[in-house]
Amino acid sequence: MFNFNTKKIVKLPLSNNESIEYQLIKKSKKTLSLKITENGLLVSAPFLMTEKKINQLVTSKIDWIKKKLALVEPQKNKLEIKDNATFHLLGKEIKITLFHGKNKIEWQTPKNLHIHFKELSNQKKLKKFFITWLKETALDYFSQRAYEISKSNSIPSNSILLSNAKTRWGTCNSKTEVRINWRLIQADSYVVDYVVCHEFAHLTHMNHSKNFWNLVGKLCPNYKLAENYLKNKGFSLYLID
Angle at the Cα of 71 from the Cα atoms of 69 and 75, rounded to 5 degrees: 95
Mean model confidence pLDDT for the chain: 91
159 and 42 co-located in one domain: no
Q: What is the pTM of this model?
A: 0.75
Same domain, 106 and 189: yes
Per-residue pLDDT tens over the stretch 167-202: 789 999 888 889 999 999 999 999 999 999 999 999
Task: Measure the CA–CA gap between 202 and 197, rounded to whole angstroms.
Answer: 9
How far apart (Å, rounded) are the C-alpha atoms in residues 146 and 196? 6
Of the three residues 22, 48, 75, the one that is the final residue of a domain is: 75
- In the prediction, which pLDDT does 40 show? 85
| Percent of the chain whose predicted confidence (pLDDT) is above 70 | 95
Residues 222 and 113 in one domain: yes
Residue 136 confidence class, pLDDT cut points 50, 70, 90 = very high
Is there a single domain that holds both residue 38 and residue 104?
A: no
The dihedral region occupied by 84, where left means phi > 0, alpha psi between -120 and 50, and beta the remainder, is left
Residue 76 has pLDDT above 60, yes or no: no
How many independent structural domains does the chain possess?
2
pLDDT of amino acid 73:
62
165 and 136 in one domain?
Answer: yes
pLDDT bucket at 103, cuts 50 / 70 / 90: very high
The neighbouring-strand residues paired with 34 are 43
Would you state the pLDDT for residue 75? Answer: 56
The confidence score (pLDDT) of residue 1 equals 44
pLDDT tens track for 194-234: 999 999 999 999 999 999 999 999 999 999 999 999 988 88
Spatial CA neighbour of 227 closest among 196, 197, 191, 201: 191
Domain range holding 39? 6-75
By the 10 Å C-beta count (0-12 exposed, 13-18 middle, 19+ buried), 44 is classed as middle
Whole-number pLDDT of residue 239: 82
Write the CATH number for 129: 3.30.2010.10
3-class DSSP assignment, residue 23: strand
- Cα–Cα distance for residue pair 65/108, rounded to 1 Å: 43
